[in-house]
Amino acid sequence: MNDGNGWASVVNRREAFLGLGAGFGSVALTALLHADPTSSSSLHPSAVASPLALAKRCIFLMMEGGPSHIDTFDPKPELAKRHLQEFSRSGEMESAMSSGKRYFVKSPFDFIKAGQSGADISTPWIHLKEMVDEICFFRGAQVESVNHPTACYQLNTGNQFGGDPAVGSWVTYGLGSPNENLPGFVVLPRTSYPQGGAGNWSNGFLPAKFQGTPLRPEGSPILDLSPPAGISRQRQRKNLDLLSELNRQHLESRPGRNDLSARMDSYELAYAMQTEVPGVIDIEGESKNTLDAYGIGDASTDSFGRKCLLARRLVEKGVRFVQAYAGNWDSHDYIEKAHGSLIRSVDKPIAALLRDLKQRDMLKDTLVVWCGEFGRTPDNGLRGGGQSYGRDHNAKAMAMWFAGGGTRAGHTVGATDEIGGQAVECVHHIRDVHVTLLHLLGLDDNKLTFYHAGRHKQLSQFGGDVITELLA
Amino acid sequence: MPDKEYNARSTVVGRLWILYTCEELARMKRALWYSIVFGLVVAATVDGSTCAQGAEGVSEFSDAEKLFALQVKPLLAEKCLPCHGADPNEIEGGLDLRTLADLQVGGDSFEDKVLIAGDGQHSMLYVTTTRAEEGYEMPPKEADQLTAEQQRWIRDWIDAGAPWPSDERIDLIERAYAKGEQVLVSKALSQQWQNRRYESEKLWAYRPLHQTEVPRDHHPIDWFVDRKLAAIGLPPAPPADATTMVRRMVFGLTGLPPSPDQVTSFTAAYQVDPDEAVATLGDQLMASPHYGEHFGWRWLDVVRYADTAGFANDYSRPNAWRYRDYVVRAFNADKPYNDFVREQIAGDEIDESNIENLIATGFLRMGPWEQTGMSVFKETRGQWLDDITDTVGQAFLAHSMLCCKCHDHKFDPVPTRDYYSMMAVFSTTQFAERDASFLEHENINGFDASDKWVDAKIAAYETQKDELAAKMKAQRKEETLDAKVGDNGLDPGDEASLARMSKNITRHDIERDRTRPIALSVYTGSTIHRSNVSGRIRLPKDRWMKGEIETDVIHNGGDVYSQGDPVTPGALSAAESIGQMSEIEFPDTMDSDGKGKRRLALADWIVDQTNPLTSRVIVNRVWSWHFGQGIAGNPNNFGGTGGLPTHPELIDYLALWFMDNGWSIKKLNRLIVTSQVYRRDSRHPDPKALAEKDPLGHLYATFKPRRLTAEELRDAMLTVSGELNPAVGGIPCRPDLNREVAFQPRQIMGGTASVYEPDPTPIQRNRRTLYAERIRGLRDPFLETFNQPGPDKSCELRETSTVAPQALTLINSQEVFDRAIAMADRLIRKDLASDDATIDRAFHLAFGRSPTNREIAACVAHWREATAEESMITYPSPDFPDQVSRTVMAEKTGQPYSFVEIMPAYSNYTPDLGPADVDARTRGLAHVLRVLLNTNEFSYVD
């Protein structure tokens, strides 16, 4: 693959076309991926990050499916007393999910008070419990939907019906990317995309370059990154040479057509990407200690371990926003088994990530967010005709935590009621979480706007408040 | 300074305001209503001084009082009071701005420095608006910030001593001096809003259509456009040459590339008589069924067509295709647009025995929607009502109605009451998949193949399921604890698979309806509570017996549980008043039984000849489809925030002309393509003058080049490769798509959706992209990359971005590779006299022109070299297994498990022609052709 001719040719071509005297090192991979020279708008013109903000980048650990707060970080001893007692809910706001015979379900897990801060954490978290003093737990968040795709959209884009830009798109739109050799917003999805699909990292109405770039865990990390079988790199280079020759002749009679020359450039960038991207995502150069720490190589933790390590590598190289998916936390049936193995699959990788960031002195300016699209209910309906220790969806209470980036380490903010049915203290709509996240990154939701369809649009949709209790 | 502002010469129409509730309006005879209202209209042309003499006692008003009454007070009300007084219980920062006394007391932060009478520069009320005070930028939202002029009003008013006249005096000042227009609308939520004034020019879309006389012997479009160009001294570009014209027209009217024959005959005719040649070609193209396909997808963009319902289950909408074909038929038959509108909104209410009408109402069901066991019916019902109210507003009236769901519209004269009145039109509309036998002109080919595939898919699942159930039965243990904890001896992957298979059987079972005589439709009746919808909804025997007739109210704050004022069916009151519309009666006013034909009334209201919006909206859309931009900049938004028309007289002329010509889209197209404006070169002889005088390209001195849309690009490749199956209409086809995406596990409620299986034969797959099944949860990455919009929101105009993944797709994807091989094979089989001739033919197919000598030389050399290389390579015949193994997560245990899925489509799959099927010379040529398909010239229309 690494044929000298190809490279020389790329550099010469770029020099010829773009007047760049540098080699590939200075070619922006952001541009490689999403170069859109025809687009008039690039970064938000006036959203200069506040210099006071500590967070410079964000790693968003997205636990899709709805992890249970009651079985992770929000113990409810009251449920042990009411275990298997019947619980009736009513009212026109209740869905079919909440009708029928229902009963309380205690958590199958014990809880301990961990760290100096004495944070509540369930016992399956054997690694993360060592890191709780770096964490600010939040129990006050609420969303509006109890359906996965709508809740995911709301959490990721602020709009439960989708179509709007993702948080990561807004952040890169506001802050750009310090290292132009990488895309600003990278998504590390599971092999199966979440409900709602790629709409969860859409650029919405923002320019295409702010779209999340998913690095697929299997197969080609980016679609069509390699030519079909049988086409050598040399052959491809020659084809591209003919292409640029024909395009150049076409352009001669159309001087000043920037859209055409931009399109020509995009081919050179695409060509270069084919070797650049695999290099960026190759983690084999990491030490065995590191790989072990993240649980890479151990079947139960390998998948998310790779994502966490890749997230660190990406932010270290200047990626602004990384969102890594884990799941599926939709445990309607067996909390003990399902949440047990899910916690095991993320516990070690996350602890390693926090520790790694801390050791590299990056935790102070890297905001780490952990949450799902909603929480779970303290009760369950009959499953397959019988009782089963699982939980349904709950939009009124959920688990969420923050670490680093100017958040209030070693604290637990807000509270849910005695059964974990809904948030009752420091209650905030998810839009306030969005506003707070932007604030931590030095962005003001009210200023980070984009004019579209006749309105200045913003992540929070119509404005929201910073949750000051979460700030250091 | 302030004097200048509000004394500037302006036309003022002050309308004395009378409040009506909706019910009162509904009861009132419209004629009477208007006579009352307009009887009280006070209209005057004002320029400060002259007016001052006319109004009683006005000489007593100081400039500062006027400044306050006309500018500062409304500004405070709009920008400050929401947080500083509107809700006395929630006054931010202790600063109340409702009275002068409150203002003088100040707030927590700046106390008496908020207002220092006589010293605007140092009064914090002013300073905060300049955003100079860190942490106190007011209003906080940047989107709301005051303009420099507005900031000066506040400063100047304080400098002048901050006078705060009484409400009576303010009222007198307003009557005498207020600029802008008040608009008669139904009752607003707030008096403040009700009284507000609008910049006259932003109300353009509501005004009655204005007829401009065009001199005889002038093409009206040319006359309007050239007049404007002449005024700024910018000569238009010369006409485009024949090759450019034919490509522009064939793509423009059919979305396909011109055939070499079309180019030849048009070029000959164009030399004889260009006008005649263009008119003839235009008519020929519009007579082709591909015209309706091309214009059809544009409409489908507006209505967000898809073949699935979206969200968690993304169930198939098996009969949606009949609506898609209805749209294609409507354009091909040149159905008058007013009928097109009426049928889509109210076809069933017009005549439900007419099957075409039932199919047309599929429009009402196009948005994403689902009702699962997890959702609350009242909310999902509310979501549909919001969706359809907004969609009707955007599609037909260019009004984004959602903007006024929670509050009176921020910019436009649309009160929240209008929103809920229009929503009330739909509150008796109910979903049904209705019996509707197939029409003679519907394409019912391929039904057998579709049924067979669905049957095979279900059968495969049933077999697997039975085997699995038997295995599980043998394994299952009694659980010993007090409840199920998963200790049942079963492999959790098996349990998940069982659920997955059941779910997919349900999903495929729905697809059986695809070939059945059913229309995705609606009926008028009571609302029946449904807790879970996973299949066909049938028409109830008695439409009013079960369920309830919804109470039509304003939902305060947009909250579906909050009951506000009652409303009755209606539409946009501003269009009625400003537009001086004729009276249209809506049924189901307060005292009726609520069973009237509400949608029919709305449809009639929309297509009424006196409706100022409707014909403007559609002519603007059609214009934008030809020119890549509307006369008014936002085809979905004619409000004050949308782009104002660049040629207001032209849009009005066209709107009237359109109605006079029977609402015929084809006639409008003919008028457009025969204009010189449409036929201009995309290059200007004086680019500098063009850049200076028309930097935004709004004046049409040149024709704006455009990149092909995603659909056009794919269709064009299939056309030039000779693979396109030009059949029109029918059940959705399934083209090949990137296999990594096709086979990627996709989560749905309760498991993993079946993989995407393409149709087994090339002729089924290689149809126009319009017919490719549109799955909301699984976008074709090729189309998405080339800016095909998502089917969840109405798309007013396609966007064009240029990003590297597009290049990757075009240079690397299997699909483009296949097209090049097929095209090469097609050319080689022609057995032309020489390599040069083959290349010449390739250029004619791809670009509609002959290659230059330089191009021939480069391509022939490339071909030979590539052939030499290809002769060293052998390609194995590709293997297409009919099952796939996948690994996903078991929800119950949070652990991965693998399963095998049967793919019946691959049991008799015929791939497109591939490299293994052709010789090295053909493959060598394919390299050249792939380059041609990648060129700018192929992707752009000049």
Q: Is the pLDDT of residue A22 over 60?
A: no
The residue among B205, B285, B202, B215 whose CA lies nearest residue B248 is B285
Q: What is the pTM of this model?
A: 0.85
Contact between B888 and A192 using a beta-carbon 8 Å cutoff: yes
Q: Which of B369, B377, B707, B812 to mutate to test the interface with A (most CBs of A within 10 A)?
A: B812
- Contact in structure between B246 and B267 (CB atoms under 8 Å): yes
Asked if B687 and A255 come within 8 Å (Cβ–Cβ), the reply is yes
pLDDT in the model for residue B152: 87
Q: In this predicted structure, what is the pLDDT of residue A45? A: 55
In chain B, residues 627-646 whose CB comes closer than 8 Å to chain A: 634, 636-637, 639-642
Neighbour count for residue B405 (Cβ, 10 Å):
18
**The pLDDT of residue B51:** 36
Residue B637 with chain A: CB contacts under 8 Å = 453-454
Give the rounded distance of the alpha carbon of A467 from its chain centre: 20
pLDDT at B364: 98
Tokens of B237: 């570009």
Cα–Cα distance for residue pair A426/A443, rounded to 1 Å: 22
Q: Tell whether A52 lies on the interface with B, counting CB pairs under 8 A.
A: no
The answer to whether the Cβ–Cβ distance between A222 and B368 falls below 8 Å is no
Range with the largest mean pLDDT of A148-157, A347-356, B108-117:
A347-356
Please list every residue in chain A whose beta carbon sits closer than 8 Å to the beta carbon of residue B491: none
pLDDT tens-digit readout, A438-454: 999 999 998 899 887 66
CA gap B802, A36 in Å, rounded:
5
Q: Where are the domains of chain A?
A: 4-42+228-277, 57-222+288-470
Distance separating alpha carbons of residues A154 and B134, to the nearest angstrom: 31
pLDDT at position B193 is 86
Nearest residue, CB atoms, B937 vs list A238, A250, A388 = A250
Does residue B834 share a domain with residue B914? Answer: yes
* Residue B420, amino acid: Y
Q: What is the pLDDT of residues B496-529, one digit of tens each?
A: 899 999 999 999 999 999 999 999 999 999 999 9
Of A329, A386, A449, Cβ closest to residue B142 = A449
B 445-504 → A contacts, CB under 8 A: 482-486, 492
At B896, the pLDDT band (50, 70, 90 cuts) reads confident
Q: Are A136 and A414 in contact (CB under 8 A)?
A: no
Q: How confident is the model at residue A181 (pLDDT cuts 50, 70, 90)?
A: low
Band (B40; pLDDT cuts 50, 70, 90): very low
- Report pLDDT for B483: 59
pLDDT of residue B10: 31
Provide the pLDDT for residue A179: 67
User: Is pLDDT at A180 greater than 70 in this prediction?
Assistant: no
pLDDT the model gives residue B280: 98
Mean pLDDT, rounded, for B94-109: 86
Q: Of A84-93, B218-227, B286-295, B928-937, which range is least confident?
A: A84-93
Give pLDDT, residue B103.
87
Instruction: Determine the average pLDDT of the residues in B301-330.
Output: 96
CB B615 within 8 Å of CB B657: no
Percentage with pLDDT > 70 across chain B: 93
Q: Do A235 and B866 touch (CB under 8 A)?
A: yes
Q: Is B875 helix (H, G, I), strand (E, B) or coil?
A: coil
Integer-rounded Cα Rg, in Å, for chain B is 32
Question: Chain B residue with minimal CA distance to A449?
Answer: B143
Q: B7-16, B67-76, B713-722: which range is least confident on average?
A: B7-16
What tokens were used for A169?
Answer: 């798109």
Q: B480: pLDDT confidence band, cut at 50, 70 and 90?
A: low
Task: For residues A415 and A370, give the distance between their C-alpha atoms in angstroms, rounded to a whole number.
Answer: 17
The owner of tokens 């005549």 is: B351
* CA B691-B694-B696 angle, 5° bins: 95
For residue A222, what are the CA distances in angstroms to A168, B804, B806? 18, 11, 12
B578, B582, B584, B590: CA torsion to nearest 10: 60
Whether B859 and chain A come into contact, CB under 8 Å, resolves to yes
Task: Take residue B805 and report the two structure tokens written for it.
Answer: 């993944």
Architecture of domain A57-222+288-470 in CATH?
3-Layer(aba) Sandwich (3.40)
B640 and B764 together in one domain: no
Chain A contact present for B241, CB below 8 A: no
pLDDT band at B695 (very low <50, low <70, confident <90, very high): confident
* CB-based contact B800 A388, cutoff 8 Å: no
Higher pLDDT, A75 or A268: A75
- Out of B787, B814, B936, name the one closest to residue A263 (CB): B936
Which residues on B lie below 8 Å from A392 (Cβ)?
374
Instruction: Please tell me the least confidently modeled range out of A26-30, B258-262, B294-298, B462-466.
Output: A26-30
Instruction: Give the mean pLDDT of B343-359.
Output: 98
Residue B844 lies in a domain: yes
pLDDT at A256 (0 to 100)? 83
In a mutational test of the A interface, the residue from B372, B808, B843 whose CB has the highest number of chain A CBs within 10 Å is B808
The closest CB to that of B813, out of A146, A224, A458, belongs to A224
pLDDT value at residue B321: 98
> What is the total count of domains within chain B?
3
| Residue B572, C-beta contacts closer than 8 angstroms, at least 6 positions apart | B397, B399, B414, B418, B422, B613
- 10 Å CB burial of residue B572 (0-12, 13-18, 19+) is buried
Considering the domain architecture, whether residues B742 and B683 belong to the same structural domain is answered as no
Please say whether the beta carbons of A101 and A381 come within 8 A: yes
Tell me the one-letter amino acid at B612.
P
Q: What percent of chain B has pLDDT over 90?
A: 68
- Tell me which of B474, B491, B514 is where a domain ends: B514
Using an 8 Å CB-CB cutoff, list chain B residues near A228.
812-814, 817
Of B312, B802, B940, the CB nearest to A195: B312
Concatenating the DSSP letter of every residue in B752-800 gives EPPPP---SSHHHHSB-GGGB--BTTB--HHHHHTTPPPTTS--SS---
Instruction: Supply the pLDDT for residue B796.
Output: 92
pLDDT of residue B52: 37
Same domain as B921, residue B801: yes
B898 shares contact with chain A (CB less than 8 Å): no
pLDDT at A204: 86
Asked which of A312-326, B166-180, B778-792 is least confident by mean pLDDT, the reply is B166-180
Domain with B812 in it:
710-941
DSSP symbol at B912:
P
**B883 and B762 co-located in one domain:** yes
DSSP structure class, residue A334: -
Q: Per mean pLDDT, which range of B155-169, B233-247, B920-934 is the poorest?
A: B155-169
Sign of the alpha-carbon torsion through B306, B309, B312, B313: negative
A18 pLDDT above the threshold of 60? no
**A471 CB-side CA count, 13 A:** 17
Q: Which range, A327-331, B161-165, B399-403, B721-725, is most confident?
A: B721-725
Do residues A362 and A316 make contact, with C-beta atoms less than 8 angstroms apart? yes
Are the Cβ atoms of A193 and B312 closer than 8 angstroms? no
| Residue B747, beta-bridge partner list | B752
The residue among B482, B514, B546 that closes a domain is: B514
Whether pLDDT at B532 is above 80? yes
pLDDT of B673 above 90: yes
Flag whether pLDDT at B102 surpasses 90: no
A455 interaction partners in chain B (CB closer than 8 Å): 143, 403, 410, 641
Which residues on chain A are in Cβ contact (under 8 Å) with B499? none
Contact A242 B928 (CB under 8 A): yes
| pLDDT at residue B111 is higher than 80 | yes
Interface test with B, best of A192, A202, A444 (most B CBs within 10 A): A192
Mean pLDDT of all residues belonging to chain A: 85
Domain co-membership, B714 together with B777: yes
Report chain A residues whose CB lies below 8 A from the CB of B634: 453-454
* Least confident segment among B222-226, B372-376, B560-564, B714-718: B372-376
What is residue B485's predicted lDDT score, i.e. its pLDDT?
64
Residue A279: which residues within 8 A CB-CB, separation 6 or more? none
Query: Given a cut of 50, is residue B20 above it in pLDDT?
Result: no
Q: What is the mean pLDDT of residues B132-155?
A: 84
pLDDT at B640: 85
Residue A92 — pLDDT band, cuts 50, 70, 90?
Answer: low
Contacts made by residues B630-636, CB under 8 angstroms, sequence distance 24+? B630/B797, B632/B205, B632/B398, B634/A453, B634/A454, B634/B398, B634/B796, B635/B398, B635/B796, B635/B797, B636/A453, B636/B302, B636/B394, B636/B395, B636/B398, B636/B400, B636/B794, B636/B796
Least trusted range by pLDDT, from A196-200, A296-300, B384-388, B623-627? A196-200
**Do the chains contact at B777 and A228, CB–CB below 8 Å?**
no
pLDDT for the residue B29:
36
Q: Domain boundary residue among B679, B706, B733? A: B706
Structure tokens belonging to residue B307: 């073949």
pLDDT of residue A37: 38
Residue in chain B closest to A448 (alpha carbons) equals: B142
Whole-number pLDDT of residue A43: 64
Among A259-263, B108-112, B190-194, the range of highest mean pLDDT:
A259-263
Q: What is the pLDDT of residue B30?
A: 39
In chain B, the residue whose alpha carbon lies closest to the alpha carbon of A241 is: B931
Q: Are residues B797 and B868 in the same domain?
A: yes
Interface test with A, best of B797, B801, B887 (most A CBs within 10 A): B801
Whether residue B150 is contained in a domain is answered as: no
Distance, in Å, from the CA atom of A269 to the CA atom of B553, rounded to the nearest integer, reads 56
Residues 137-156 of B with CB under 8 A from A: 140-143
What tokens appear for B213 in the block?
């006389």
Residue A372, φ and ψ in degrees, nearest 5:
-115, -170
The DSSP secondary-structure symbol of B77 reads: I
Chain A hits for B807, Cβ within 8 Å = 263, 266-267, 269-271
| Chain B interface includes A25 (CB < 8 A) | no
pLDDT in tens, A204-262: 888 777 888 889 888 888 899 998 888 898 999 999 999 999 999 999 999 888 889 98
Least confident span in A74-88, B317-331, B503-517: A74-88
Q: Is B804 within 8 Å of A33 when comparing Cβ atoms?
A: yes
Q: What is the pLDDT of residue B444?
A: 97
Mean pLDDT within B34-40: 33
Domain assignment present for residue B674? The answer is yes
pLDDT of amino acid A205? 86
Q: What pLDDT, on a 0 to 100 scale, did the predictor assign at position A31?
A: 45
CA-to-CA dists, residue B862 to A237, B381, B825, B866, angstroms: 12, 61, 17, 6
- pLDDT value at residue A99: 63
- Least confident range from A76-80, B50-54, B638-642, B849-853: namely B50-54
What pLDDT, on the 0 to 100 scale, is given for residue B586? 95
Q: What value does the mean pLDDT take over residues B576-599?
A: 92
